[in-house]
Structure 1
């Protein structure tokens, strides 16, 4: 159920590649469901108990549904009545992680990029990883890679059931207060509960590779039988030293417990991407991959979809502005994306769409502060993501705080057509225009460069 989702579609691909007969359904058709159909995976539009009772695609043995699907959903009830096993998606991920050597990437930020980088580095190093990614990896043309293993997976803490899982190597990027509170069934009640979930996952894994640069992680990793660290911090097992940023990325040297492994480069700007790449090189080293070959593969990697994705050039009167789209939607991710944009040396212009009323209520001051280093900020209305509005919570809270703190270039601009027109007309060759948010702000980036999304190169 929900086969058009980024996670469910990856499951479908991995299971089909293993020779299982896979079909699915989703509320609406999309580019992803069309791709699945072209790959031979049968997809029905809408949810219907008839998918079980009438069995349009043959006998159903297992119905996979996310924990967000109501237990009294007609399709779920039909499965239970027919004796069909209803399996939560996290239970399915647990089976895949337990089947052999596995790497589970956990943390509040950077999971999709880090998971992608691990798979890319391993493949480049001569290994044959399988991968489950929460985004499209251009090199795979998919959100999944079929391989003999190890299996590398993005493990999303937005689903509380992740805490029941474990793996061989847990890569722990960071821990903050995202996916906490509200009326979403799978979210955490408190940040303390969420962090306890991280600690439990780690304790159920054979070893943890944790970011030494993120304060407080050591308090959550004590349960792992083997503990390793990565980062720029003194004492990290895997270190990035002699870090040399430039407009297009960052070069650095990698050491392992004081011994130099070699030179590396990440073709994405920002310190956070140095850490993501370092984690990927560390994992590849742990699994016996060739370091130099892994570093070469990573240097050519330009990121998964919606993670610092180059969309094209704004064709304004002056033209030549670089247009990038990024999934940044909480304060830490927004600050990292702004810092990455600054590293390019261009004038930084951000189109930001706040995501969810509750998240905005919880963090609008931090979002405002994270955007202060941008030269110009255009604010869209909040993307509700099925939430009901909260009285008094509005995008202008962010713009108001920025103005009060002395920013002279922030504008609330809810008319999306006006945003596209203004950005295209004012684009300059020295600009970088970054659309940010977890909603549908990505569509504006494509409109600005006047390309259909299917034509956009990742």
Structure 2
């Protein structure tokens, strides 16, 4: 059953005394969630984005004004009334015409993390941090709390099927995905910080959303934790306890013997994993996650731990998680092709790719991956690890690198991955940049014993939907 707590005002609704927020990049997965949360609180919301998308169309249908393109006239022309606050991410240059026009007009320019900080401080809050698993863990926490009757609000970097949205408005607590790619996250804190892991993603280069060094990024995680009332950390990820040395209160979850919340007696099957949950040695009950992979057991365990901390009934939360099919682009079941299961997954760095391949292996099917490397810098930093992470797949079809607005780096190409895999003995890897040929090969060879996984943070998701045919659901990130 779909939970639809966001009752949207009609487009002609007036907002006496409420501020008017204008969101740049409103079609992004994060900004669109902000738009929905602000609108549900009674604020007037408008925004703009470079191009039309499913998300911009949905926002317009909900009564939120969206202009396509970026221009100073969005501010100076008052197309949708006088703007009080312009919200932009740190990725937007300070010299952007809309930001310049706002400053000249005396309009507050509020970074998106400042807006998230305001929401986190408004009441009991749960902030999910880490370099992997944030979207799935945040979704699971919100679904578990809602299943237990706690009526959470939520801010998620993906579409949660149970909510039909990337946002949910409730009485509380507020559950938020806190993205470390915006360096201002380190100035925030929450009542409970759920710390999934810490690796070297979003590090290096000169992008506004990247950290100079992994040490600086990890120091940011440590600051967030220290500014929170307590941290719930993954005991299975080495080094997190050191980053949490400044925490006021520390709890842990995982399979590790010394974890406070433990997943024990794991019973994997092709569709997911059943397991038991204990808290400091006492059994809380039996749980199940309907997504394969040990990483999803840990994500679900974090959600059940948060539910326990906030007083939710265990069995009801566990039942909600057992029925949870995952957020958009996180092991998302798109459909079937000639009996083959077609999955789409956002995995784009080595740890996520390895976890997705392991999840695919758990299905017991022949694992066929269509992988699109993401960003030249990320590929330069990690192509050997990406190649190694893909080795357990039976077949890998490699697309060209998704640039994501980056300038190509000489010598950095998808074939670095395929050549390393071939050199290490893999006989089923092919560099296949022609998407028509990818579709042809898979359509003619897909069989009932296969799982086909389109994998990456670019537009590879489109191939999964083309394989399945018209009507395949899903929203890209």
Q: TM-score if structure 2 supplies the norm length?
A: 0.94
2-structure distance, mates of 1:266, 1:420: 31
For 1:54-133, what aligned pairs fall within 5 Å after superposition? 54-133=77-156
Secondary structure of 2:44's counterpart equals: coil
For 1:392-403, what aligned pairs fall within 5 Å after superposition? 392-403=411-422
Secondary structure of 2:381's counterpart equals: helix
- Give the match for residue 166 of structure 2: 143
2-structure distance, mates of 1:125, 1:76: 43
- Give the match for residue 218 of structure 2: 195
Q: 2:281 aligns with which of 254, 258, 267?
A: 258
- Give the match for residue 17 of structure 1: 40
User: Structure 1, residues 217-249: CA drift from partner, whole Å, max 9, x if none?
Assistant: 011011110000000000100000011100000
Task: Confirm or deny: 8 A CA contact 2:273 2:288 kept in the other structure.
Answer: yes
2-structure distance, mates of 1:263, 1:450: 38
1-structure distance, mates of 2:149, 2:270: 30
- Give the match for residue 372 of structure 1: 391
- Give the match for residue 442 of structure 1: 461
- Give the match for residue 183 of structure 1: 206
User: Structure 1, residues 111-151: CA drift from partner, whole Å, max 9, x if none?
Assistant: 00000000000000010100000001111111001111100
1:418 paired with 2:418, answer: no
1-structure distance, mates of 2:431, 2:357: 18
- Give the match for residue 166 of structure 1: 189
Q: 1:290 aligns with which of 313, 327, 330?
A: 313
Secondary structure of 1:323's counterpart equals: strand
User: Structure 1, residues 57-94: CA drift from partner, whole Å, max 9, x if none?
Assistant: 11111011111111111111111111110000000000
Q: Which has the larger displacement, 177-186 or 447-456?
A: 447-456
Q: 2:300 aligns with which of 277, 284, 298?
A: 277
2-structure distance, mates of 1:352, 1:53: 44
Q: Which runs of 4+ in 1 moved over 2 A?
A: 451-456
Secondary structure of 1:22's counterpart equals: strand
Secondary structure of 1:294's counterpart equals: helix
User: Structure 1, residues 85-111: CA drift from partner, whole Å, max 9, x if none?
Assistant: 000000000000000000000000000
User: Structure 1, residues 237-276: CA drift from partner, whole Å, max 9, x if none?
Assistant: 0000011100000000000000000000000000000000
Q: 1:320 aligns with which of 334, 339, 347?
A: 339
- Alpha-carbon distance, 1:455 to partner: 7.8
Secondary structure of 1:184's counterpart equals: coil
- Give the match for residue 375 of structure 2: 356
1-structure distance, mates of 2:63, 2:37: 13
Task: Confirm or deny: 8 A CA contact 2:153 2:175 kept in the other structure.
Answer: yes
What is the Cα-based RMSD across aligned positions, in Å? 0.9
Q: 1:331 aligns with which of 342, 350, 354?
A: 350
Task: Confirm or deny: 8 A CA contact 2:195 2:231 kept in the other structure.
Answer: yes
- Give the match for residue 221 of structure 1: 244
User: Structure 1, residues 25-83: CA drift from partner, whole Å, max 9, x if none?
Assistant: 11111110110011111111111111211211111110111111111111111111111
- Alpha-carbon distance, 1:454 to partner: 4.7
User: Structure 1, residues 411-444: CA drift from partner, whole Å, max 9, x if none?
Assistant: 1111000000100100010000000000000000
1-structure distance, mates of 2:474, 2:370: 22
- Alpha-carbon distance, 1:453 to partner: 4.5
User: Structure 1, residues 292-312: CA drift from partner, whole Å, max 9, x if none?
Assistant: 000000000000000000001
Q: 1:391 aligns with which of 403, 410, 431?
A: 410
Corresponding pairs, count: 452
2-structure distance, mates of 1:381, 1:100: 45
Task: Confirm or deny: 8 A CA contact 2:144 2:303 kept in the other structure.
Answer: yes
- Give the match for residue 347 of structure 1: 366
2-structure distance, mates of 1:115, 1:451: 30
User: Structure 1, residues 330-383: CA drift from partner, whole Å, max 9, x if none?
Assistant: 000000000000000000000000000110010000000000000000000100
Q: TM-score if structure 1 supplies the norm length?
A: 0.98
1:50 paired with 2:73, answer: yes
Task: Confirm or deny: 8 A CA contact 2:335 2:472 kept in the other structure.
Answer: no
Structure 2 unaligned regions, length at least 5: 1-23
Structure 1 unaligned regions, length at least 5: none
2-structure distance, mates of 1:245, 1:419: 31
- Give the match for residue 306 of structure 1: 329
